[in-house]
Chains A and B, each alone.
Chain A
């Protein structure tokens, strides 16, 4: 199994500012995934980050709002830009496991925008 560390674990931010969330994996992985988990809502995929290429964003998510970096095979960042209270959520980093659709998740970053 993969061990995923996310930082920060929580933060309270002012609207209009940006927050960068870091995700570190203990092994090299091809793809990393960023999810959002809003209260009462499903875990929703924001984007897929491949090393050496632009991230692929899901419908409803754009690069200007959620820029992603993937500088190497063990690390990725997600930035939540120009935040508003609607961005208050848990953001989760994920990597795929060896079996067909197994996914490992970090502990999440709990973001509150005030």
Chain B
């Protein structure tokens, strides 16, 4: 079993839709949870991160962490064609001292006009 599971998609939605992206994990030591966005032929860029359980909102993006279920989500409201990218969840059990991150496989999202 992989430490982090993520549905690879592809996920295709119309412009303006609410998108839900999810990851499950098995390692209870994970404390830091991140979402990265990766455009084609580019490196991943950090979108959001949360520590432990709870929600975090940033504009159209909301990250949720449910540690009891070992489940994290990223919601995108009012999705735009510019949101079309691959979204990677990543997790870590420690802060600083090196970012040994464990990634999901990524979900490919396409937002269509």
Q: Which residues of A contact B (CB under 8 A)?
A: 4, 31, 33, 40-45, 48, 92, 94, 96-97, 99-108, 110
Known: A40-B8, A42-B105, A43-B88. A107 touches B42 (CB 8 A): yes
User: How many A-B pairs with Cβ below 8 Å?
Assistant: 69
Q: Is B41 an interface residue (CB 8 A)?
A: yes
Q: Which residues of B contact A (CB under 8 A)?
A: 2, 4, 8, 32, 34, 41-46, 49, 51, 88, 90, 92, 94-96, 98-106
Q: Which A residues are in CB contact (< 8 Å) with B51?
A: 100
Within 8 Å by CB of B96, from A40, A45, A100, lies A100
Q: Dominant SS at the A interface?
A: strand
Decide if A94 touches B99 in the complex (CB within 8 Å).
yes
Q: How far is the CA of A41 from the CA of B106 in the complex (A)?
A: 8
Q: Would you give the shortest CB distance from A2 to chain B, in whole angstroms?
A: 11
19 A-B pairs (CB sep. < 8 Å):
A33-B98, A42-B104, A42-B105, A43-B103, A45-B100, A48-B100, A92-B44, A99-B49, A100-B32, A100-B95, A103-B90, A103-B101, A104-B45, A104-B46, A105-B43, A107-B41, A107-B43, A108-B43, A110-B41
Decide if B49 touches A101 in the complex (CB within 8 Å).
yes
Q: Which A residues are in CB contact (< 8 Å) with B99?
A: 33, 94, 96, 101-103
Q: How far is the CA of A33 from the CA of B98 in the complex (A)?
A: 9
Decide if A101 touches B92 in the complex (CB within 8 Å).
yes
Q: Would you give the shortest CB distance from A30 to chain B, in whole angstroms?
A: 9
Decide if A102 touches B43 in the complex (CB within 8 Å).
no
Decide if B43 touches A48 in the complex (CB within 8 Å).
no
Q: Would you give the shortest CB distance from B73 to chain A, in whole angstroms?
A: 18
Q: Which A residues are in CB contact (< 8 Å) with B104?
A: 42
Q: How far is the CA of A96 from the CA of B90 in the complex (A)?
A: 14
Q: How far is the CA of A100 from the CA of B33 in the complex (A)?
A: 11
Q: How far is the CA of A43 from the CA of B104 in the complex (A)?
A: 7
Q: Which A residues are in CB contact (< 8 Å) with B46?
A: 97, 102-104
From A9, which residue of chain B is reached at the shortest CB distance? B41
